[in-house]
């Protein structure tokens, strides 16, 4: 039996069953609301445990009822949750307390939130017609890290570059096939 330790995210997924996709600003009645444990890291840990691995998880949940539910779900799977921190208050504050100076949180079609010891803000996403969001976050991180200066002097510009890369990626199918090359980003009129 293999031993697996997963470091990653734990989320509470919420699924709404509707008769049609709502239009912007439209209010609709949901026929069903379904909550389930999720997050890439938690999903990987559950898959490893269910396949017979001794599994531990390192991550963080809030101190709210959803955080407790997520811990309970992993515990019921017999996953070692001793590495999961229960974080009270804003995650960015906790990260700063741990010595992490800059926090970036992707917000999907909204863009990316950043928080440093000096400032915080949101760099908006580019509005596109997304057809496959599979590699959006991975593309964002890869593109951002390829251009971010060591002193973080170009943080907002690097986030903008990551947003641009992911906005291009979501317009094509497939994870790696959709990740754009730097030339495609440089040719975009949006950042020139």
Q: Which residues are catalytic?
A: 138
Q: What angle do CA 14, 172, 145 make, to 5 degrees?
A: 80
Phi first, then psi, for residue 45 (nearest 5°) are -65, -45
32 Cα distance to chain centroid: 25
Angle between helices 40-50 and 65-76 (to 10 degrees): 20
For 147, residues 6+ apart whose C-beta sits below 8 A from its C-beta are 154, 157, 158, 161
Give whole-number Cα distances, 68 to 12, 47, 87, 104, in Å: 11, 20, 11, 25
Report CA Rg, the chain: 19
Cβ atoms of 138 and 175 closer than 8 Å: yes
- Per DSSP, the chain holds a count of helices (H) and strands (E) of 6, 8
């Amino acid at each position: 039996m293999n031993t697996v330790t997963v470091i990653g995210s734990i989320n509470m997924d919420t699924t709404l069953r509707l008769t049609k996709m709502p239009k912007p600003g439209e209010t609709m009645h949901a026929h069903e609301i379904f909550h389930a444990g999720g997050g890439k890291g938690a999903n990987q840990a559950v898959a490893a445990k269910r396949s017979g691995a001794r599994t531990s998880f390192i991550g963080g949940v809030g101190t709210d009822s959803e955080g407790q539910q997520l811990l309970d779900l992993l515990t019921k799977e017999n996953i070692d949750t001793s590495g999961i921190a229960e974080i009270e208050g804003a995650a960015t504050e906790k990260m700063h307390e741990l010595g992490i100076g800059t926090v970036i949180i992707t917000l999907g079609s909204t863009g990316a939130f950043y928080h440093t010891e000096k400032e915080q803000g949101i760099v908006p996403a580019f509005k596109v017609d997304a057809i496959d969001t599979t590699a959006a976050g991975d593309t964002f991180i890869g593109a951002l890290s390829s251009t971010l200066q060591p002193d973080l002097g170009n943080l907002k510009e690097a986030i903008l570059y990551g947003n641009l890369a992911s906005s291009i990626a979501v317009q094509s199918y497939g994870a790696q096939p959709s990740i754009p090359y730097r030339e495609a980003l440089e040719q975009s009129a949006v950042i020139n």
